[in-house]
Amino acid sequence: MTSLELDDRYSRQILFRPIGPQGQRKLAKSRVAIVGCGATGSAIASLLARAGLGTIRIIDRDYVEPSNLQRQSLFDEADAAESLPKAIAASKKIAAFNSQIVVEPKVSDLVPANIEALLEGMQVILDGTDNFETRYLLNDYAVKNSIPWIYTAAVGSYGVTLNFLPSETACLACIFPDSPRGTIETCETSGILNSAVNLMASISSTEAIKILIGAEDKVRRTLLSFDVWTNDRGEISAAKPHPECRACGEKEFVHLAGEGRPHITLCGRNSVQIHELHRPVDLAEMSDRLTPHGIVRKNDFVLKFWREPYEMTLFPDGRAIIKGTTDTAIARSLYARYVGS
C-alpha cells in the first residue's frame, strides 16, 4: 500500500490513533472469512471492505430476492431480479467501491466436508449465518484450529454478539452447551429491523479490527445483547473458558464430525435446503429437462424452477432450496423427482 493510498482513502481511519498507519498496513495484509452474507453478513462485509482489509472471503449458499433489500445493504433490485448468489453480488458491489482489496466469493453451503478448504488461511472468522447448526460448526473449527471468531445474530429489534479468542475466552459452546430448544424467533416469524442488524454488524466489525491490528486487550470479553426498540442491554461474562465445555474443554468436536446434521429451514422464508447431495449439475441440461414440467429461468450461477405450489432454486454443486414447504420429506421427494436421487 502506497503512502498516497494511506493518506487518501483511509485518512480518517488512520487519524484514529489506536489504528494509525501501522494498523492500517496490518489491515491491508489481513485475511478474514464472513460466513453468511445475509443481513449481518452483508453489513459486516461492507464495513470491513471500506476499512481496507486485504482479503475478504464471503461464503454464502443463498441468492438475493426482493425481501432481502430492506436490511441487506450490499444488494439492489437488479441483484434480486437476476436471483444472483449473494456471495457473487456482494463481491461485485465491493469491487465498485474498493478495487484495492481482494474479495473471494464462495457460493457454497459450509458443512463438515468442506469447512477446511473454505476457511483455510483465514485470520478471523465472522458469523453472518442464520442457524445454530452452522455456528456450532464454526465454533468447533475455530476452537480446534485456534482461530478467533465472532458470533453475531439479530432478529426483531434484538441483537447479540460474542468474541472468541483461542485459549483466552469462553467459546459459543461454553455459553450455549446445547442448541436453543422450543419456540425460536426467526426473521420469518418476528421480522427484523435493519437498525438492529447494522448495530450488531458495526460492533462485530470493530472487534474484528481490534483483533487484526493486535489490540486484543481492547476486545470485549462478554456476550453482549441489545434491543434497539426497548433499549434493554445485557452482558454475560465470557472472560474464561469453561473447563467442562465440550469444545474448548474436552476437545470433542461433534459438529466437525458431522453428527446429526438435519436439513435446514432457512430464515425468512417457507423453505428447506437440500444440502447433502453434492454433485455437479449442468444447469443448461437441467433447464431443458425441467422446461416441460414448469417455468424455468437460469443464469450462470443458479436455475429457478416453478411448479405450483413450489419453487426450486438449484445450484451447480447440486444443492437446492425448495420454497413452499418446511416439510423435509416433501422437499426430498421434489428433489428426487426433478433432479434425481
Assess whether 245 carries a catalytic annotation. no
Strand bridging mode 233-237 / 264-265 = unpaired
SS3 of residue 229 by DSSP: coil
What residue ranges in 115-183 does DSSP mark as E strands? 124-127, 149-155, 158-164
- Identify whether the C-beta of residue 130 lies closer than 8 Å to the C-beta of residue 321: no
Picking from 157, 154, 176, 185, the residue whose alpha carbon sits closest to that of residue 236 is 176
- Helices and strands (H, E) in the chain, number of each type: 13, 14
SS3 of residue 256 by DSSP: coil
Catalytic residue among 171, 174, 187, 245: 187
Give the amino acid at 131: N
How far is residue 271 from each of residues 165, 300, 321, 338, measured CA to CA in Å? 35, 23, 7, 17
59 vs 56: CA distance, rounded Å: 10
264 vs 132: CA distance, rounded Å: 10
Show which residues are catalytic. 187
